[in-house]
Structure formats: structure tokens, C-alpha cells
Amino acid sequence: MTFKIAASPHAHQRRTTQQVMRWVYVALIPGVLLQTYFFGVGVYIQLALALLTAWVAEGLAMRLRGRPIGHAWQDHTAIVTAVLLAISIPALAPWWIIVIGTAFSIIVVKHVYGGVGQNLFNPAMAGYVLLLVSFPVQMTSWPVPNELAQLQVTISDTAQLIFSGFTNSGYNLEQLRMGVDGVTMATPLDSLRNDLNHQLTLTEALNKPIFGGLAGIGWAWINIAFLLGGLVLIKQKIISWHIPGGMLVGLLVPAAVYWMFNPDQAITPMLHALSGATMLGAFFIATDPVTAATSNKGRWVFGLFIGFLVFVIRTWGGYPDAVAFAVLLANMTVPVIDKYTQPVAYGHGGRS
């Protein structure tokens, strides 16, 4: 007879890492489908490249570490990292963008620190920030939503553009980013930031076709889909509500206060909530169990901190969407958060 010795608590859910990861990418499906609907099949090509790169990088890293490769491929952690990074970058980004980002996420961010459970930073977001800092033009060139596009592209055109930089008809990405009004279009958050910085009022900035009366054509529905997927994860007890709840409160409360006092020059709470990577970040990225705080109180503080950082960077920083930077900065504070929010051991919390 063998006995297994482990640290408490000993009561646990009977879910393997593989099963948890499966739930995560199943919950991502609605958002991915809508992202493809609005921005084209380039999303699927990026996903395929990311998954292939993750599979190769995971196997190479395990071989270099002298560890068995099969188990690493089966736990699905590399798959989730690849998927999160692939849907975070522009759908028509050059093929080498996702290859570099995924390889860096798996080999450097994950395996240099010891593999599953040992990494200090969220691998997908670390890879994203590397790409954004190194290749800002490619990483901020999101395609126009299909209903506003002046030029429509086929599946063949999309593949040709990703791998060669031009469609079969000779159009490049900048030409495809022209909207129906012939103006190169930015994402809703980027467009709004630029207009507010040029002293336009919020009402004037929101008159652009890309906003579509809500929080941006495509982006609003994608965020709603990720919100619904996140609620499924909470329902299945894959994640707790503390981090996404804290992040949304930390973002929307200061955004609402700032908007009330400066309604002509501030992004509205709805735009903060339903644009960019807000819901993806709240439910699928910030909740990474390895790089987040551990106690419920700590998770709440961790989420609040991320949300507040997103608000600050979006409002005064140099990047329109700040989720990746906020998550990485919050990852650095996890040891401190855990130290001051750890539950008191039974029998040691009251007066003697």
C-alpha cells in the first residue's frame, strides 16, 4: 500500500488540469465565432498557426528540459495560451507575428520558470506585450468590421495577405483597412482616444460609423459573448467571481466618476466595458490560477487593481487597450497581495 502526502486543504474537485482547460476553450467558442463573423476567417488562420507553434514549442522545451513530452501535450495549458494570444492579435497580422509571440509565451515565459504552475507572468499576455512593444504597427492594424469594409476579401485573399502581405488582387492591409467612407479606420477605443486628444467632444467622436450606436460594431457583441462564456465558467466553478467582479468594479467605478465630472472628454463606462479586451481579460486572462492571487479576498484585490490600471492606462497612457499591461503589472504584486490577504489559521485570529 502506498500513501500520498499532500498539503491541505484535502477536499477538492475531481477535475484534472486537462478538463479545466477544456472548459476554458469551450467557453471561448462564442467569442471566437463572433470575432470571425465581424473580422473574417483570418482569426482561424491565426489560431491554426498559434496551435501548431505551441505544439512544437512545448515539445522542444520539454525535450531540452529532459522531461517527457507526452504529458505536456495532454494537459492543454499550451493550447489555452495559444488560443488566448491568437484571438488577441489582429486577424490579418503577418504569420510571423503569432509564431514569435506563441514561441516566446511557451518557451520563455512558461518553461524558463519551470513549466506548468511555476510561471510568474501570464504567458499569453507576456507574449502579447512583447509583440506590441516590438511590432506596434502590425499589432494595432485591426481590420475594419466586414459591414463597414470598402473591399471584401475571400478566404484565399485572407491567407495570401497573412503569408505574403498582399491579396490575390494586389491589395495590402492598409488598403483593406479603408472603411466605406474611404478613411483608414482604427478600433473604437483607439479612434475615441485620438478624437478626444484632438479636442473633439465625446458626442462628436461617437458619430463615426464604427461605433454603431453601442460600443463599436463587432467589439460590443464580441465582449458580450466573452461575458456569457465567463459566466459559464463561474457556473461550472472553473473560476470564481472575485477576479472578474473586482476587475469590472475597478474599471467601471472610476470610469463612471471621471465621466460624470468630465462628460465631454471622458470615455463612457459602457465603452470601457464593451470595447477592446475587457471581458476577455476579466474572465479568461486575469483568472489564470497560476499568476493570480490565491485567497478570495486576495483575488478581489487583484481584480480591483487590474481594473483600475486598465482605466488609468486607457485614460492617460500611451496605449488604447491596457488589459495586457495591467495584468502583467498585477502579476508582479501577487506575492504582496497574498501576504496581506491570506486567511488566518484557525485558532490564531482572535484574542487569547
As a whole number of Å, the end-to-end CA separation of the chain is 43
C-alpha angle 260-210-129 in degrees, rounded to nearest 5: 80
Is the N-terminal amide bond of 9 cis, ω within 30° of 0? yes
pLDDT at position 296 is 94
Element (H, E) at 58: helix 42-64
Task: Give the sign of the dihedral formed by CA 65, CA 117, CA 302, CA 249.
Answer: positive
The pLDDT of residue 107 is above 70: yes
pLDDT at position 180 is 47
- The region of weakest confidence among 53-57, 137-141, 279-283 is 137-141
Task: State the DSSP code for 8.
Answer: S
Q: Which residues pair with 179 in a beta bridge?
A: 149
Q: Grade residue 348 by pLDDT with cuts at 50, 70 and 90.
A: low
* Region 25-35 average pLDDT: 94
pLDDT at position 230 is 97
pLDDT at position 116 is 78
Q: Grade residue 185 by pLDDT with cuts at 50, 70 and 90.
A: low
The pLDDT of residue 76 is above 70: yes
* Region 323-349 average pLDDT: 86
